Amino acid sequence: MLALEEDFAIINPPEAAILAVGAIKDVPVVEDGRIVPGKVMRMTLSVDHRVFYGATAAQFMAEVKGLIESPVTLLVSQA
């Protein structure tokens, strides 16, 4: 909403976790040994460790990253 590059969310009870998403930014990235234009978006997950283990939160973030990088997987049936 505010086009912040990075944000940190604060958990308020009774929340167990909250995901903060920053703005998409154009940056140079290395791809196959070459510097090319790319887009970067920072995400931060704040977690109440009394509810979730850090490893579980990391798995969740890896899944979110995979879905953002390949959104067509949302359309594929998991049956």
55-70 residue pLDDT tens: 999 999 999 999 998 8
Please tell me the pTM assigned to this model: 0.75
Residues taking part in catalysis = 49
**pLDDT at residue 2 tops 70:** no
Each residue's pLDDT tens digit, 17-49: 999 998 889 999 999 999 999 999 999 999 999
With respect to residue 3, please indicate whether it lies within any of the assigned structural domains. no
With respect to residue 38, please indicate whether it lies within any of the assigned structural domains. yes
Q: What is the pLDDT of residue 35?
A: 96
With respect to residue 63, please indicate whether it lies within any of the assigned structural domains. yes
With respect to residue 56, please indicate whether it lies within any of the assigned structural domains. yes
Our count of domains for the chain comes to 1
* CA–CA distances in Å: residue 59 to residues 17, 25, 37, 56, 73: 14, 24, 28, 5, 17
Q: What is the pLDDT of residue 78?
A: 63
